Structure 1
Amino acid sequence: MSNTLSKYLNILTYVMIGLTAIFVAMFYLGGDVPNQPYQTPVYTDVLIQWAKALFIVCAGLSLLFPVIQLVTNPKGAVKGLAGLVVLGLIILISYSLSDGTLLDLPGSTIADNNPATLQFADTVLYTMYILGVGAVLTIVVTEVLRKLR
C-alpha cells in the first residue's frame, strides 16, 4: 500500500473513531425522552444509524477488497477461496447439528417459535461455538509452536 493511501486511511480511521466517540457521548449524556415507560436516551436513533452506516461501509469494503485482490493476484485468491470453502463446511456442519423442534412454552404466542427460525438460530450458535473453539485452539497451538522453536 502506498504511503499516501496509508496516510489518508489513518486520518479516516481517526475521524471515524472521533465521530463514534461523539455519538456515544451524545447517547449517554444527551438525556432521556420524557413520558416513556422505560429509560430511553434521546440520541438512540442517531447512534443506531451510525452503527448501520459503519456496518454497510465495512460490509462493502469486505466485499470490495477481495475482488481487488482477486484481480491483482489470482494465484493468491486460491487461499481466500479455500477459507470460504472451510467456512461453508463449518456452516453446513452447524446446520446439520441444528434442530427445529418447537419450544414448549405454555401460554406463549411468540411468532418466532417456528422450525425455520429455531433452526437458523441453532445454526448460528453452533457456528459461533465451532469458530470460537477453533480460535482458542489456534492461539494455543501457535503459542506452543512458538515456544518450541
Structure 2
Amino acid sequence: MTNQDSTGDLKAEARRAAQDAAREARRAGEEAAEALDTAKQRGAELYENVRDKGAEFVDTARKRGAEYVDQARNRGQEYAGQARDEARRLYREGERRAGEVAGYAEDYYDDLSGMVRRNPGQALGIAAGVGFLLGLIIARR
C-alpha cells in the first residue's frame, strides 16, 4: 500500500464518519424538534384545560353568588315583613293601652276633683306640702 492509498482511505473514512455524524445530528435535531412540538402541544392542551377549568370555576362561583344574593334578599324581605307586622301589632297594642290609661286617668281625675270639692282646705294643704318637698329636692341639685 502506498501513502496515497492510505491517505485516500483515511480521507474516505473521515468523510463517512462526518456524514454519519451529520446524519446522527440531523436525526437528533429532528427528534428534538418533534419533542419540542409535542411539548408545545401538551402545553397548549394544559393551558386550554386550565383556562376551561378556570372559566368553569368562575361561572360556578358567579352562579352560587347570585343564588346567595337571592336567598339573602328573600330572607331580608321575609324578615322585613315580619318586623312590619310586629311593629303594627305593637302600635295597635300601644294605642289600646294608651286608651285604657286615658280612661283610668279620667276616672282618677273625676275622683280627685270630687275629693278637692268636698275638702278644699285639705287639698290645698297637700298641694302646698308636695310643692315644698319638690322645691327642696330641686334646690339640692
TM-score (norm 1): 0.31
- If each structure's helix is expressed as a fraction of its own residues, which one has the higher value? 2
* Structure with greater Cα Rg: 2
- Bigger relative contact order (CA 8 A; separation at least 6): 1
User: How high is the TM-score relative to the length of structure 2?
Assistant: 0.32
